Structure 1
Amino acid sequence: MQFQQLRYFVAVAETRHFTRAAEQVLVAQPSLSQQIRSLERELGAELFHRTRGGSTLTDAGQALLPLARRILADAESARLAVQETVQLRRGRVRLGAPPSLCTSLVPDVLRAYRARHPGVELVVREGGSRDLVRILADGGLDLALIIPPPAGEAAGLDVTELLSEDLVLVSADRAGRRPARIADLRERPLVMFREGYDLRETTVAACRAAGFEPRFAVEGGEMDAVLGFVRAGLGPAVLPGMVAARSGLAVTPFAAPGPGRTIAVAHGRELPLTHAAAALRATLLSHLADADRAGALPPGTRLLPARPGPASHPGPPGDGRSRGVDAGGGLG
């Protein structure tokens, strides 16, 4: 049984005439009659009483008519649903990002995306880069902003490095007139994130490389808590430049070479991105490029040059770029 046969059947049932039905569905009358006869053979019953003046439904035809109309209506609904999804009037995107990006980059990107595609549902999951990489590999996310993992942990992922970002020192005091050094933190107890944040691991590693173990004034906070503790004067914290720029706190850059991190966007290679997810990725890249051209990136944040690389998704020309990967991280 084919949709075309059902469409022809409904047309004959409604017009009660094979010739008029053929004109309605824009097919030759012999072809329509042949398809109806084929449908009757498949069903094992005649569907019409055929007379010189027209055609009327048999009992079998009466039983089939409401079902045929429902099947055709469902098929049309399916066609429209797919068309709306392709045209981004509906859909769903699952985006993962660390908390530091959820408080800085992500809101601006989602606002731009929502303005263009208001019918697409957005689901955001905060997490550490290692967790997000695992969830991506398991198919639980469409896209994720991550600190790139080591190459061995990125198997099965398309990873595109986007930004390099300096880390800065924030405090409730006035910003220092000279750049800070990691060694300056030896005598300054820090407000520190809880374990699992890559910012904690990066800060501790930088202090140890400078020859000392950092001291904590207070530790264990999430991003909002750390900012609140710094505002309360409990101590300084090391933060990404994008977060610091929005914090309202005094910002002191580190002298070169200071600590920093790389931000990338990733998705699984096994399945192509949905149209909605590919559009979000394109919006992210466009937003960063526009901010870079306008000089609106925070100080110490640099857009990385694109390199040709593997891509496994639909998107605008030049959208499938991938770069190498470096050290991974946690929640930061």
Structure 2
Amino acid sequence: MKFRTLRAFIEVVRQGGFSPAARTLFATQSTVSKAVHQLEQELGTPLLERGGHRPVLTPAGEAVFRRGAKLLADRDDLLGELDEIQGIRRGLLKLGLPPLGSSLLFAPLFARFRQRYPGIEIELSEHGSRELEERLRSGALHFAAAILPVAAEFDSEPITRQTLMVSLPSDHRLAARSSLRLTDLRDTPFILFDHGFALQRIVLDGCARHHFQPQVAARSSQVDFIVELVAAGLGVTFLPAIIASQFQSPQVRHLPLDEPGIEWTMAMAWRRGAYLSGAAQAWLDLLRESKDLAQPAQ
């Protein structure tokens, strides 16, 4: 029995459903569902009745939940005790995060890290990708969230890969499509993020490969303002799927961008060869542990 599948099941029960469990576990709903299904296959019995509004425990599920919750708690206690032995009790972790997507992607991780290492202080800096890269290069940060690919001078750990969505006014002539190419938008004004954001570089590089330069109607660093401009009919913008899902409006449609080679992959980067303190290594270990849940079932 793998801890990642057991943790997924426990959180589905605790949170009352797959969607809230996915948010808690820093994973997608389908990933959590697959993990629970894998656990059921391994144990040879259903653990949840899925027909109603909320999943209901089967008798076997009640036993697995009762013992599994204790097992996970004992594991966390053991890790905490080992951390005490190894001296990871205090320290400073300096992280750089971009404004786009940080709250959705990192808040659950911060909560888990704080619970596990209450004596480690987290110092956050929020900037665009270029500024974060400079701060990481100078040693002002231990880690910085970055969009792949990163410069060769950095190591990185991928966190999430997201489809890019085209956000356009619901009355736009292309709004009825199921997906869009960049060339479909050649004559439509773009609303882009400021120059320091990696997302605008991804979009503009894609346009260059199609041999056109888009008309830029506006730029901003505020995603909510950009979406409001789209709703007002000023143009179209581009958002990672996880961000677009948070902005549902009758005035805006979000369609997948069908462009091979264009995607938004968030990673955590650090200076290649840099010394990682106990606090920094603990953060990296937590990232990798959390990402284990997102691996496909074997």
* TM-score where L is the length of structure 2: 0.60
2:140 is equivalent to residue 159 of structure 1: no
Contact 1:100 1:223 in 2 (8 A): yes
Q: Which residue of the partner structure matches residue 268 of structure 2? A: 265
Q: Which residue of the partner structure matches residue 122 of structure 2? A: 122
Q: CA deviation at 1:119?
A: 3.0
Q: CA deviation at 1:182?
A: 0.8
Q: CA deviation at 1:135?
A: 1.9
The AA in structure 2 aligned to 1:242 is I
Secondary structure of the structure 2 residue equivalent to 1:124? strand
Q: Which protein has the larger Cα radius of gyration, Structure 1 or Structure 2?
A: 1
Q: Which residue of the partner structure matches residue 56 of structure 2? A: none
> 1:1-332 counterparts in 2 under 5 A?
87-148=87-148, 153-155=151-153, 157-173=154-170, 176-248=176-248, 250-257=253-260, 259-292=262-295
Secondary structure of the structure 2 residue equivalent to 1:247? coil
Contact 2:93 2:279 in 1 (8 A): yes
Q: CA deviation at 1:282?
A: 1.9
Contact 1:97 1:145 in 2 (8 A): yes
Q: CA deviation at 1:140?
A: 0.7
Q: Percent identity?
A: 31
Secondary structure of the structure 2 residue equivalent to 1:206? helix
C-alpha offsets along residues 99-153 of structure 1, whole Å, 9 cap, x if unaligned? 2242431223222222322332111212233332332232111111212456xx4
| Structure 1 residues 282 and 173: CA distance shift in structure 2, 3 A | farther
What's the RMSD between the two structures over aligned residues? Answer: 2.9
Gaps of 5+ in 2: 1-82
CA distance in 1, matches of 2:166, 2:282: 35
| Structure 1 residues 289 and 172: CA distance shift in structure 2, 3 A | farther
Contact 2:155 2:271 in 1 (8 A): yes
C-alpha offsets along residues 271-324 of structure 1, whole Å, 9 cap, x if unaligned? 421222212222222223324559xxxxxxxxxxxxxxxxxxxxxxxxxxxxxx
Aligned residues: 209
The AA in structure 2 aligned to 1:117 is Y
Gaps of 5+ in 1: 1-82, 295-332
Q: Which residue of the partner structure matches residue 42 of structure 2? A: none
| Structure 1 residues 147 and 225: CA distance shift in structure 2, 3 A | same
Contact 1:192 1:218 in 2 (8 A): yes
Q: CA deviation at 1:163?
A: 4.0
